[in-house]
Amino acid sequence: RAGTDPLTLRGRHFMRTVHPFCNIRNVIQDGLARSMLIQTGQLLESSLNPKEKSEHEIYKAMVKLMPDLEERLLSQSQEHESFCADLIAKGASNARADDTKTIKSNVMDWVTPNGEPLSPPLGNNVPKNLHGYLHHWTGKLLAPAGFDWDNAAQQEALRSGACIIEGNYWPLFVYEDYKYNADKPWKGLFRSRILVKGFKHIFTSPTSVEKSARTATRSSNAENHQMTEVTKSSVAYVATQIRFGISSHPTFSQREVLFDSETFYESVMEILNRPSEHWEVARLLKWWNR
């Protein structure tokens, strides 16, 4: 985009592949301070506590995406930190809004089983507040894996709000073929058709969604940012967008919706970053990148 600061363009990709909900000003301010202490030998990165280590990894990923960021920060006044943060945040906010809008407009075409018509119908002409638990199929996909959706009383508990599902439960839609195996909880996890379609829509192009290749990271948003492989963060981000897209919430920006979405995203990242799950996560990423 002509005339757009590179930091704003990179901010779009940062949000999609590193972290969609972090406070960018804090990431820059704290990350730069830590980076300078580490570079001058006044701080060992190994001495950071888990929270600081996680935050510093986000900062390092930001710097990797924006190689001239530290130089810009160090060569200007402290006020320039806020200026740079605002540029990145603008790109992040715009990208999230773009993705939310386009996913919301297309996701109902992806949820139908084998393209079969649903009753009642779903589509762009059906108000979003009739999606989510209010529709049999989207409700089934949003309900926690293992939940007995065919139990009318449990369905009604979700629909009425008597049973509130928090963001740290895996919905059925993240499983391949929408099937959950309680004895093998990793079987099909984060491998569903709807996640693949959402990934292609955001990172490749809307027209690539129906193509057979798993990922086509050689064009569009992926190509523009030299993205050559699917990342844990990008899978978590797509799952978060799909989850909102099939819900009955009208807008992403509502405070409680944003908080719930962030909780869900963080819960996905927690399991993908858990050392004890390293082997399963490696298999998952190999599946996405093959």
For the entire predicted model, the pTM comes to 0.88
Closest CA to 132 of 141, 145, 144: 141
- Cis before 144? omega within 30: no
Tokens of 284: 């998952």
pLDDT tens-digit profile of 168-206? 679 999 999 999 998 999 999 999 999 999 999 999 876
Residue 20 banded pLDDT, cuts 50, 70, 90: very high
| Residues shown for the chain | 290
Give the three-class secondary structure for 49.
coil
Answer yes or no: is pLDDT of 145 > 60: yes
Q: What is the pLDDT, as a whole number, of residue 218?
A: 44
Tokens of 114: 């084998």
Q: What is the pLDDT, as a whole number, of residue 204?
A: 86
Q: Count of CB atoms within 10 A of residue 41's CB?
A: 7
Q: What is the pLDDT, as a whole number, of residue 133?
A: 84
pLDDT tens-digit profile of 96-118? 999 999 998 888 888 876 666 77
